[in-house]
Amino acid sequence: MSDHRNDLPQVGADTPLAPPELLEVRPNGVGSRSSLGAGIRAAVALVSLITLVASGIAWASYQKFTSDIGHGAPVPALTGTDADGADQNILLIGDDSRAGANAAELRALGTTQDGGSVNTDTMMILHVPARGGKATIVSVPRDSWVDIPGYGKGKINSAYGDGYSTARSKGANETASESAGIMLLIQTLNALTGLHIDHYMQVNLLGFYRISIAIGGIDVCLNAAQNPSTDSDANGRGYSGINLPAGHSVIMGTQALAFVRQRHGLPQGDLDRIKRQQYFLSAAFRKVATAGVLMNPFKLRDLLKAVSSSLMIDPALNVVSLAGEFQNMSAGNITFATIPNDGSQTIYPDGVQTSIVAINTAALPGFIRTLQGKPADSALAAAPVAAPSSVAVDVLNGASITGLAAANGAALKKLGFHVETIDSTDPIPQTSVEYPAGLQGKAKAVAAATPGAKLVLTTAVNKVTLVLGANGVQVKGLASQAGPISTSTPAASNATSNAASSSPGTGARKAPVAAGLGCIN
């Protein structure tokens, strides 16, 4: 039976990378009247031959792969303490370089070979527990407002560019300049999270494009059609080049790039883009596993060729060990998270209007504990639930519905709580109950009255505070009156703020499924 997905058109897939030659094993002759025993012996011999040939191809592919990978500067040794102990952290970076693209690829990317820019719009930390267990990919929003050592406050995606440009201005070559950018980004992340980055892996724009084609595209599902008219703001339209219908599609090449890069026109901007990136990676891992890429030497050769041509790693990174980790991820042994944040905000540094993502630094220690498989708040489980009459609570509206805080405050009063402040706050994706240390029991009482709300230990509040988010979770009796305000599908990725648990060508074709991940904004 043929796979009916292969009968569907692949839009713009007329200029893919040329596939490598396939080795075909042919027996010298096959007799129509050969005995059963001879047939079995021939079959065994054929399988043995294929195994030997495949092993040779896999080995040759690996040798070629390792020799083609670029190497940057080593990661500085750990000084002081590491927030997660012996666990490993690998920084995954995506930059905008098109270096090495051929003419067809440049046409498909809609650009010229200008080398691209030094933007790092994709920053993730692959956290691998030292004692086994699920790995976690932690996304860091590009607009995170942080301290950049030696450069002051700025968006975290500028750290790489600052380090790169400074090195370049001093006469450093391309590899040394990229290494300088990576080192400054590592310093910035270490100062922010307390995590020691053990290794790094940088993939450029061209590499992502080639990888998406090498694995045959990715199944995705959109809640709504995305095109230049939706990919827009007051200043322009069509920023990412996305042009996909609502529902299911298989994307590769330029549309794969557009899918993970779009942020204009999405309800939560950069945070929705992170959900897209996590969704895409999860679908890609599933695709690699189900298609047998890692165990198929021919497919593996295509993938390794696509990866090695656009990859730079630190000299100490063991690619064999890393491949094993990725194989575990392909089997579903992975979770996704986003660094704790308070959502998108507008600030005015030096009088300039700037859109940022505010990091919830108070929730970071608990978040790191959850990466290690520990409870975010070790005192929470043992704390008895307080009586509502003993609990003073503030209620803040972080959603887009007028009067939401007042309605929930009134509902809490009916349940016996002392409601003090009713106000609004910056938009957040999830309803949460924030509380300071020592008020665990009172926080549990408010959480019990608000089924589905996440408990967040933080120093940002001095009393229990119910913050109503875009997922529609409300106080008992109100939840049925308002469904989710955001249309994003939780199954696509973890919620944006995991602070709650811790404090060649455009490829697009219709697909029947999206790797079991549901649909997404």
Helix (H) or strand (E) holding 323: helix 319-330
The helix/strand count (H/E) of the chain reads as: 12, 21
Contact 433, 463 (CB under 8 A): no
Say whether both 332 and 394 belong to one domain.
Answer: no
Say whether both 396 and 461 belong to one domain.
Answer: yes
Say whether both 126 and 226 belong to one domain.
Answer: yes
Collapse the DSSP code of 113 into the 3-class scheme (helix H, G, I; strand E, B; otherwise coil) and give the result: coil
φ, ψ of residue 84 to 5 degrees: the values are -115, 20
| Two structure tokens written together for 94 | 């995506």
Q: Return the residue matching tokens 């090695």.
A: 308
Say whether both 91 and 61 belong to one domain.
Answer: no
Give dist(CA 164, CA 108) in Å, integer. 27
Say whether both 53 and 127 belong to one domain.
Answer: no
Residue 363, in any domain of the structure? no
Say whether both 57 and 75 belong to one domain.
Answer: no
Residue range 103-144, pLDDT digits in tens = 877 777 665 444 455 667 788 898 988 877 778 889 899 899
Domain containing 116 equals 71-340+504-510
Say whether both 180 and 227 belong to one domain.
Answer: yes
Say whether both 91 and 156 belong to one domain.
Answer: yes
Please report the pLDDT score of residue 5 as a whole number: 33
Say whether both 61 and 77 belong to one domain.
Answer: no
Residue 169: CATH number of its domain: 3.40.630.190
Residue 23, in any domain of the structure? no
Task: Give the chain's domain count.
Answer: 3
Q: What is the dihedral of CA 405, 410, 413, 414, to 10 degrees?
A: -140
Helix (H) or strand (E) holding 464: strand 464-468
Residue 377, in any domain of the structure? no
Residue 427: CATH number of its domain: 3.30.70.2390
Say whether both 488 and 448 belong to one domain.
Answer: yes
Say whether both 141 and 261 belong to one domain.
Answer: yes
φ, ψ of residue 302 to 5 degrees: the values are -60, -45
Given 68, 87, 118, the domain boundary residue is 68
Say whether both 199 and 84 belong to one domain.
Answer: yes
Strand duo 392-397 + 464-468: pairing = parallel
Residue range 213-252, pLDDT digits in tens = 888 888 889 999 999 999 888 888 888 889 999 999 999 8
pLDDT string in tens for the chain (521-residue length): 433 333 332 333 333 333 333 223 333 333 444 445 555 555 545 544 444 444 455 555 666 667 778 889 999 888 777 777 788 899 988 877 666 677 877 777 665 444 455 667 788 898 988 877 778 889 899 899 999 999 999 999 999 999 999 999 999 998 999 999 999 999 999 999 989 999 998 887 777 788 888 888 888 899 999 999 998 888 888 888 899 999 999 998 888 888 888 888 888 887 888 888 888 887 887 777 665 666 666 677 777 777 777 788 899 988 767 766 666 655 567 788 889 888 888 999 989 999 899 998 888 888 888 888 777 888 888 999 999 999 999 999 988 788 999 999 999 999 999 999 999 987 777 899 999 989 999 999 999 999 999 898 887 889 999 999 888 899 998 854 444 443 333 333 332 233 333 333 334 444 434 445 678 88
Q: Return the residue matching tokens 């007799």.
A: 31
